[in-house]
Amino acid sequence: MIEKIHHLMQEIANLEAKSAQEAEILRIKYLSKKGEISQLMNDFRSVPAELKKEVGMKINELKTLAHEKINALKENADTASSTDEASLDLTRTPYPTPLGSRHPLTIVKNEIVDIFSRLGFTLAEGPEVEDDWHVYSSLNFADDHPARDMQDTFFVETHPDIILRSHTSSVQSRVMETTQPPIRILCPGRVYRNEAVSARAHCFFHQVEGLYIDKNVSFTDLKQVLLLFAQELFGPDTKIRLRPSYFPFTEPSAEMDVSCTICGGKGCSMCKGSGWLEILGCGMVDPAVLEANGIDSNVYTGYAFGMGIERITNLKYQVKDLRMFSENDVRFLDEFVSAR
């Protein structure tokens, strides 16, 4: 028995542990209820009475030794893992700090603004909560004009004349009433229409409006500026075509298509086989609109155009669902981290 105790003492004195877990395994092996030392206590019962004192002292000695040794192993393992110099590499680059990104609509808006500012357009803004005059009446919409229904306006309940603007054309009127030509402005902003929210429609979206008024402004100027714009935005091979259309505030009016940004005009699912994509409405400012806003239509002419920013962003980045733009899903927004 004494021999066995001496043997265990030697064994324990030489124990090593690389981690706190290993030290714990050793504690279980020697010091737990079913461990080797408890086993010895069981055997102790059969030790002859005259030897009990000596053997008992030895076992106590062994127990103390085991406790001290294993505790020391645990402590060493703890401090080793927290200051392990080999694992502390001060030359490593730090974890990258996640950066925010611009919203895709802001990226595209900035691009549009940038192109037109190089053509001499300056920014103008107007309120989103507007009155009927600036959104409709001053722009030649008759009181019962069906286009008012077409725009599906939100009214501010307490005041039938106060509405959420349904297009940025209201800013045209705001600028004309306070400024004499030459006027060359670009108006980006949010607009509202009473539409059920779906992948293809939303109750709010964004437009950029352009207005140029001066002496001798012609449809040719409009067409040339729009061609330059389309080629800057979608690439130098982009073609445009103008189709006759109708807006109450322009005469003549047109809608502009660009050659498909995906197939280049051959026809694909994006352009539904036509080779063309509609991107904006435009026209020569109706003389009645100039007059209603205090500009002499015998002296001045002008053109205007308006486009949806979501529409153009969809064409550039193939966003399939309009709702993505306002859901703030970081996985979506992260897609644009490297975009301008």
Residue 209 token pair: 């409006």
Q: Is 327 helix (H, G, I), strand (E, B) or coil?
A: helix
- CB of 188 or CB of 283, closer to ligand PHE: 283
Residue sitting closest to ligand PHE (CB): 306
Cα–Cα dist 272/266, whole Å = 10
HSE-CB for 133 with a 13 A CA cutoff: 5
- CB of 250 or CB of 261, closer to ligand PHE: 250
Strand pairing of 250-259 and 204-214? unpaired
Interface region with ligand PHE, contact rule CB under 6 A, candidates 93-101, 216-224, 230-238, 298-306: 298-306
- CB of 247 or CB of 276, closer to ligand PHE: 247
Interface region with ligand PHE, contact rule CB under 6 A, candidates 36-44, 68-76, 97-105, 277-285: 277-285
Using alpha carbons, select from 127, 120, 147 the residue that is nearest to residue 189. Answer: 127
- Calculate the CA dihedral of residues 181, 221, 190, 132 and round it to 10 degrees: 50
HSE-CB for 13 with a 13 A CA cutoff: 8
Residue type, 278: E
- CB of 179 or CB of 245, closer to ligand PHE: 245
φ, ψ dihedrals at 305, nearest 5°: -150, 155
Select the residue interacting with ligand PHE from 136, 305, 325, 336 (CB under 6 A): 305
Select the residue interacting with ligand PHE from 140, 153, 250, 293 (CB under 6 A): 250
Question: Mind spelling out the 3-state secondary structure of 164-204?
Answer: ECCCCHHHHHHHHCCCCCCEEEEEEEEEECCCCCCCCCCCE
State the nearest-atom distance from the C-beta of 167 to ligand PHE, in Å: 3
Cα–Cα dist 66/56, whole Å = 15
Between the CA of residue 262 and those of 205, 268, 275, what are the distances in Å? 24, 8, 9
State the nearest-atom distance from the C-beta of 168 to ligand PHE, in Å: 7
Q: Is 5 helix (H, G, I), strand (E, B) or coil?
A: helix
Select the residue interacting with ligand PHE from 282, 292, 309, 312 (CB under 6 A): 282
Select the residue interacting with ligand PHE from 284, 306, 311, 322 (CB under 6 A): 306
CA dihedral (289, 291, 297, 300) positive or negative = negative
CA dihedral (201, 125, 338, 100) positive or negative = negative
Interface region with ligand PHE, contact rule CB under 6 A, candidates 31-39, 81-89, 157-165, 280-288: 280-288
State the nearest-atom distance from the C-beta of 242 to ligand PHE, in Å: 12
Count of residues touching ligand PHE (by CB under 6 A) = 11
- CB of 130 or CB of 209, closer to ligand PHE: 209
User: Between 204 and 243, how does the x/- string for binding to ligand PHE read (CB under 6 A)?
Assistant: -----x----------------------------------
Burial of 200 (0-12, 13-18, 19+ CB in 10 A): exposed
Is 169 one of the binding residues for ligand PHE (CB under 6 A)?
yes
Interface region with ligand PHE, contact rule CB under 6 A, candidates 17-25, 78-86, 258-266, 304-312: 304-312
Is 304 one of the binding residues for ligand PHE (CB under 6 A)?
yes
Interface region with ligand PHE, contact rule CB under 6 A, candidates 41-49, 122-130, 216-224, 300-308: 300-308
The residues binding ligand PHE (CB under 6 A) are 167, 169, 209, 247, 250, 281-283, 304-306
